[in-house]
């Protein structure tokens, strides 16, 4: 029984091989494949898309750590770029201020050191600038704005920073004159960004809006620097008028200053 069974199986196998050989040699195999591709196309397409979606999902999960790392790197890069942009903006501003100062001719009159205002102390009428003795600053140097407006005087010098006492500080007293009238007086700081012009006799004609400038008598500040503007005149007690003066500089808007080194 075994021998005929083996022969039968062998014949079947040979027949199958022959069948498939003929099938593949003729074009019929391609037709069969084409038929199955045609009827399976919609299912295949759906399964293919689903496979992509699911694989992407798992790939994303697997890459979360890598993405986190990349995200951190990008964030660092972004911060670095932001810092660079900020620096460039600062430089641009500095450049604009220097150009303005050059137009006024400040650089020709004085030897100036540019400085940024780092902080402001309105209660003590002082500001902190970002230049110190490392940059050649010394105590007593005058500080002005690019519009040739007197701001104050350096009171303390550190390595990289300096404290500037504003002209409105209570301790500040210096000679000044009313511009174009040659009326001499003294500017006295009253604190809280207020000043007074003292020692002006009653007979002198002073008007609101008159500008006050530094004089040659002052050994502290160079002459001709704008100090303030008269805002109120009162008769006062005694021989002198009481004149209230407001500083020309706007402390809220002041961002950069020049230190007169010589």
| Contact positions vs another protein (CB under 8 A) | 13, 16-17, 19-21, 23-24, 29, 32-33, 36, 40, 43-44, 47-48, 50-52, 54-55, 58
Residue number with CB closer to another protein (58 or 158): 58
Residue with the two structure tokens 């501003």: 93
Residue number with CB closer to another protein (50 or 217): 50
Residue with the two structure tokens 């919609």: 42
Instruction: Collect all residues with Cβ–Cβ distance below 8 Å to 163 and sequence separation of at least 6.
Output: 126, 127, 128, 154, 155, 156, 157
Residue number with CB closer to another protein (59 or 171): 59
Residue number with CB closer to another protein (9 or 102): 9
Neighbours of 167 (CB within 10 A): 31
Task: Using DSSP bridges, classify how beta strands 256-260 and 112-121 pair: parallel, antiparallel or unpaired.
Answer: antiparallel
Residue number with CB closer to another protein (24 or 69): 24
Provide the minimum distance between the beta carbon of 65 and another protein in the complex, in angstroms, as a whole number. 19
Neighbours of 228 (CB within 10 A): 26
Provide the minimum distance between the beta carbon of 29 and another protein in the complex, in angstroms, as a whole number. 5
Provide the minimum distance between the beta carbon of 85 and another protein in the complex, in angstroms, as a whole number. 43
Provide the minimum distance between the beta carbon of 64 and another protein in the complex, in angstroms, as a whole number. 18
Contact 174, 163 (CB under 8 A): no
The H-or-E segment that residue 243 falls in is strand 242-247
Provide the minimum distance between the beta carbon of 47 and another protein in the complex, in angstroms, as a whole number. 4
**3-state class (DSSP) for residue 105:** coil
């Amino acid at each position: 029984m075994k021998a005929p069974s083996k022969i039968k199986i062998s014949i079947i196998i040979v027949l199958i091989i022959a069948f498939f050989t003929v099938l593949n040699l003729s074009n019929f195999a391609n037709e069969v494949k084409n038929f199955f591709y045609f009827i399976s196309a919609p299912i295949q397409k759906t399964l293919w898309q689903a496979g992509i979606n699911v694989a992407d999902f798992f790939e994303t999960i697997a890459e979360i750590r890598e993405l986190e790392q990349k995200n951190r790197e990008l964030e660092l890069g972004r911060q670095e770029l932001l810092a660079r942009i900020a620096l460039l903006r600062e430089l641009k501003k500095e450049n604009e201020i220097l150009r303005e100062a050059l137009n006024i001719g400040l650089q020709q009159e004085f030897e100036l050191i540019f400085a940024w205002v780092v902080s402001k102390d309105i209660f003590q009428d002082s500001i902190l600038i970002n230049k110190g003795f490392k940059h050649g600053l010394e105590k007593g140097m005058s500080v002005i704005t690019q519009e040739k407006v007197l701001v104050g005087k350096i009171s303390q010098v550190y390595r990289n920073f300096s404290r500037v006492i504003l002209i409105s500080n209570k301790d500040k007293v210096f000679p000044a004159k009313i511009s174009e009238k040659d009326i001499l007086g003294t500017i006295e700081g009253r604190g809280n960004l207020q000043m007074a012009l003292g020692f002006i006799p009653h007979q002198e004609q002073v008007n609101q809006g008159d500008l006050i400038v530094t004089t040659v008598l002052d050994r502290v500040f160079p002459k001709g620097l704008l100090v303030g503007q008269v805002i109120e005149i009162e008769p006062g007690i005694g021989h002198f008028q009481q004149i209230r003066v407001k500083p020309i500089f706007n402390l809220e808007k002041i961002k950069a200053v020049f230190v007169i080194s010589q």
